[in-house]
Structures are given as structure tokens and as C-alpha cells.
Amino acid sequence: MAVEAIIFDFDGTIIDTELADFQAWKAVFDRHGLPLTLDLWRQRVGKAVHNGAQGVFLPERYFEQLKGYPLSADELRAQAEHYLRLCENLDVLAGVRELLEAARAARVGLGLASNSDRAWVEHWARWHGVWECFKCVVTRDDVENAKPAPDIYLKAAACLGVPPERCVAIEDSPTGMQAALAAGIRCIAVPNWLTMHLELPEGVALALSSLAELPFEALMARF
């Protein structure tokens, strides 16, 4: 079935903010002589992180559990500033710009579907010069249920005016892949170093090591 739209996840798919997030928090734990393992961190990847989040690893809470007291306001502020500095020095992941340019040239619709909030997504998409590529952007601010529920993807497809079955999603995390599949959207898995060892959901159409692995025409030919 022809592909009329491609819907991208953002964090970990377009830019690797997930790596920067881990590095900034790992520095905090290292300063206090505390462990912060990748197995724990992977419980956070791809999920909506906010106050009251259930089933999501929250490093500030974990720190307090280990130490018996919370991080100070100064330390939390320093961690956030470190995270932002790391994000400023990121580039978009391999193959992303080329795919965006080729899809636009082919008049394939482009959307963003993110579990992050809109302010975060818009800021970094503009910072890295890709914001204007997307006709539709849907974030956790726009739906009642974040990924792995299908709401974000369904709303993105509706905004693009394309039936879900004629869309393809690009995701790095199983949480996002589950959301796309639940929406009836075919999914390309492009795991990063944090997610590459996680089991992919059944039904993922294609798994790539990078979006640079296949040119646009060869990628679309898979569908």
C-alpha cells in the first residue's frame, strides 16, 4: 500500500536527547558515588515523563531513595543546565535530513508525534532547523493519553489528512512502536544505543540501524 505520509518520533529518533539526558543525570549520580545503570534508565526511554508519571523511572526520586534526602534546588538547576548544553551540541541523527528532504520533494506528508511537550519539541526542532519540514506536530500536550496509547499517532494522521494505513511511523523505542502499531500505522524501528537491546514489538515492519542505511526510494519500496 502506498505511503502518503511519514510520521517521526522526536527524542531519540531525530536528535538523541535521550543520550544527553542520561549523561547529565549520570554526572549527578557519579558526583555522589551512586550507581545509575542503563537497565534502570531504559525504563524511562520513550515514555512521557512528568510529575505523577506512573511506571516511569524518575532519577530524582531514585536519588532520594538511595540517599534519604532530595537533591538540592541548586543541583537540580545545574543538572538541567548541563542537559541543555549537551542538547545544544547535538546534531540530527544520520539520514534524518536526507529523508526529510527526499520526502518533501516526493510530496509525502511529514508529521511529528512526540511524548515530549510542545515547547520542548518546537524549541529543539527549530534549533536544529527541521521544524519547517513538518506539516503537523502532535505532542503529549495535545492528547489525553500519551504513548504507548495510539492517540498521538491517530491525531497526527488525522492532521495530515492521511488514513493510518497509508502512513509510516519512525520510532526508536518500543513504547513509541507500540503506539504506532496500535494506531494501525506501519512502523520502522531505528533503535539507538539506549534502545538497541530492547525487544521490538511484534508487527514492526522494518528495523534499521540508522536512517542512513537506505535511501528514500529504497525505503519506500519496502512498503
Where in the sequence numbering do the catalytic residues fall?
Answer: 9, 11
Grid cell in block for residue 146:
500519551
Question: What is the CB neighbour count within 10 angstroms for residue 146?
Answer: 22
CA distance 97 to 100: 5
Other beta carbons less than 10 A from residue 65's beta carbon: 8
> Which helix (H) or strand (E) element contains residue 34?
none
- Mutual orientation of helices 17-31 and 73-88 as an angle, nearest 10°? 140
CB neighbour class for 72 (10 Å; exposed up to 12, middle 13-18, buried from 19):
exposed
124 close to 17: Cβ distance less than 8 angstroms: yes
Residue 58's Cβ-count burial label (10 Å; 0-12, 13-18, 19+) is middle
